[in-house]
Structure 1
Amino acid sequence: MSRALRKQMFTMIDLLDKANKALKVSLTSSCFNEAGIRQLLSDCQETAVTMGNELEMIFGEGLPLVHKLEDYHESLYQMTLVLKHPGKRYELLKELAEQTRQAKKMLDEQIPDKMEVVFFPFKASMWDSMDLIWEASEQDEDCDAYVVPIPYYDRNQDGTFSGYHYEGDELPSHITVTHYENYSLQKHWPDTIFIQNPYDETDAAISVDPRFYSHTLKGVTDTLVYISDFLADETLDGFSEATDRAIKLCTAPGALNADMVIVHSEKMKQVYIDILTQNFGESTRKDWEKKIFSIRSSEIEQLQNHKENEEQ
């Protein structure tokens, strides 16, 4: 579970706790609005069900926290049956307060406070550009990292899709791969998404599955990161001779939609900044300087040496 979803769960439990207090005030007043109270009870039940369903979709059945939410839901139902019995109402109010207290404690204990990141490569031959960051994420105890290769298609001259390609089985064997049909962005809502293809619908030759276009991904994560491919960066070495290609790469939708762009040298970082500034005005230069980052050449050499040692 991402930190964003975990935070959302805590917010929902806090809302249930506030509802319990509002319910207590309403039920202990000299006269209360029964219709309003029943609506409040119904809203709380709906919230508990929503939380339980989301938790089960991510962690499966049997999570003790879900059972506690089910107990809370049942207590809310029992309250609807005893609204005219002050003594029974009082006992149930205590139960509801204790159940939300326990649910909050269980959420803290049973759901680790970890960042969830997901990598969306599409070509196995380009995995090297993601590998260094993936290794760091994989080794971080406070991070859950998923590698979810996504399909891509050839494009016909009229823009329609033809050949289907999926290269998830071609990634290095030590990488645990999750099939894209088994990773729901709506369920996971990852804290950070790393993408490899920046072109979305603008490439005349190929297209990743439209479900993974950058403008869609931006809406289901806190941070979208585009990692430029080694080979793509190399094409910018001849910036003055390849202006059209450079502009297309640096101003591709994925680069513009991303919260962060990672390239593989300070030179490439400057190329991106210059091209984007030329296209959007000198007043935007500082924005691009904050958004474009480079992996130092020493880090790339470390990655390459590591791979060479593994192959020996």
Structure 2
Amino acid sequence: MREYMKQQMRDMLATLGRAEAILDSRTKKKEAGDIAQLLEDMQASAMAIGTAIEQVEGDGTQTVRFLEEYCELLWQYMVEEDLKARFCKGRQLAGKRGEICTSLEHEFETRLEIVFLVCRSQVWKQMERFYHLMEEKADCWVLTASYKEVTDLEEGTVMHDESGLIPGAVRPMGFGQYDIRERKPDMVFIDGPYAQQGQLGIQPDYDFMEVRENAGIVLYMPCYEADSQAEEAHCLIPQAVCSDIILVPSGRINEIYVNAMNRLDNGQDMIKKIYVLDTQDVDRALSDVLNKKK
């Protein structure tokens, strides 16, 4: 089961818990019409969770059985006329929801989905180590996208497609073939650096903010053929500012990013997300990320 899907179910179960408290309040006030509608909504939510689990995990799971028992308790609550007995059913609902939450956490193994979004083939050499590190722990996708190089602001634009340079062994596919809004990957690695719109330089042929809005964690890997190519302007583009982790290739480039981001209002927080590749700090950062997503 995907982590983001499990989190959605956690949120729905938390909403059921709040609904149980409202149910008690309306029962005390004898708001019969509101109670019936609330019970109907709660049953629909519980059934939606069960249906989603069966679509992914198949029939016969313990968690779905607990959800069915929860729905039965909702029915008993609805037909019960004695006020004291209703409150007793309410306590049973809370207990059954606790069983559902525990079962959800322990019955289904969480499987992360990680995307490696590559424009420039030279960056794949750096991403590949993380791909091999994670391919047995997660479902990994290698996606390619073209990019445009702006050599003249008036008309000098050249499109590049380096997808053919990515090893076929990793089975890369085009970014447009992957529905990021639907799949909502847990982690996305992206490359760079890129220029802002209206500036000279290279620009990816995809909407970075679409990636940011639909990914759990974004890791940005700016790549330079030489440290001297790094500019402070690269450090303040959306890919750098809005990513969760920045993996820079050298200590010198790390200094440039730290100096640039330190001038931001939240500079101290921003520089905490910068790590130098091929150091133990990177391994520790990724380990922390993976543990948080479990």
Q: What's the TM-score, normalizing by structure 1?
A: 0.65
Q: Distance in 2 between matches of 1:54 and 1:183?
A: 21
Q: 2:33 — aligned with what?
A: 35
Q: What per-residue deviation string (whole Å, max 9, x for no partner) do you get for residues 40-79 of structure 1?
A: 213313433553565567x365473674477368537845
What does residue range 112-151 of structure 1 map to in structure 2 within 5 Å? 112-113=109-110, 116-139=113-136, 143-151=137-145
Note if 1:216 corresponds to 2:198. no
Q: Distance in 1 between matches of 2:60 and 2:226?
A: 51
Q: 2:285 — aligned with what?
A: none
Structure with greater strand share of residues = 2
Q: Distance in 2 between matches of 1:6 and 1:193?
A: 19
Q: Distance in 2 between matches of 1:114 and 1:287?
A: 30
Superposed displacement of residue 13, structure 1:
1.9
Q: Distance in 2 between matches of 1:100 and 1:48?
A: 10
Q: What per-residue deviation string (whole Å, max 9, x for no partner) do you get for residues 14-56 of structure 1?
A: 43245346546755x5x72111212221331343355356556
Q: What's the TM-score, normalizing by structure 2?
A: 0.68
Task: Identify if the C-alpha distance between structure 1 residues 33 and 234 changes in structure 2 by more than 3 Å, giving closer, same or farther.
Answer: same
Structure with greater helix share of residues = 1
Identify the match of residue 262 of structure 1 among 247, 251, 274.
247
Q: What per-residue deviation string (whole Å, max 9, x for no partner) do you get for residues 165-195 of structure 1?
A: 582x753344365764665444554443221
Task: Identify if the C-alpha distance between structure 1 residues 2 and 200 changes in structure 2 by more than 3 Å, giving closer, same or farther.
Answer: farther
Q: Distance in 2 between matches of 1:289 and 1:197?
A: 18
Gaps spanning 5+ residues in structure 2: where? 282-294
Task: Identify if the C-alpha distance between structure 1 residues 73 and 121 changes in structure 2 by more than 3 Å, giving closer, same or farther.
Answer: farther
**Identical residues among aligned pairs (%):** 18
Identify the match of residue 238 of structure 2 among 248, 253, 257.
253
Match of 1:120, as an amino acid? L
CA contact 1:38–1:80 (8 Å) conserved in 2? no
CA contact 1:72–1:96 (8 Å) conserved in 2? no
Match of 1:199, as an amino acid? Y
Q: Distance in 2 between matches of 1:286 and 1:26?
A: 49
Q: 1:289 — aligned with what?
A: 271
Q: 2:10 — aligned with what?
A: 10
Q: How many residues align?
A: 276
Superposed displacement of residue 270, structure 1:
1.1
Note if 1:236 corresponds to 2:233. no
Alpha-carbon RMSD: 4.5
Task: Identify if the C-alpha distance between structure 1 residues 180 and 54 changes in structure 2 by more than 3 Å, giving closer, same or farther.
Answer: farther
Q: What per-residue deviation string (whole Å, max 9, x for no partner) do you get for residues 75-94 of structure 1?
A: 37845873658899799768
Q: Distance in 2 between matches of 1:91 and 1:290?
A: 51
What does residue range 103-182 of structure 1 map to in structure 2 within 5 Å? 103-113=100-110, 116-139=113-136, 143-152=137-146, 154=148, 165=161, 167=163, 171-175=166-170, 177=172, 180=175
Q: Distance in 2 between matches of 1:276 and 1:38?
A: 55
Q: Distance in 2 between matches of 1:182 and 1:71?
A: 37
Q: What per-residue deviation string (whole Å, max 9, x for no partner) do you get for residues 182-222 of structure 1?
A: 65444554443221145386276553222xx1x33333344
CA contact 2:142–2:170 (8 Å) conserved in 1? no
Match of 1:196, as an amino acid? D
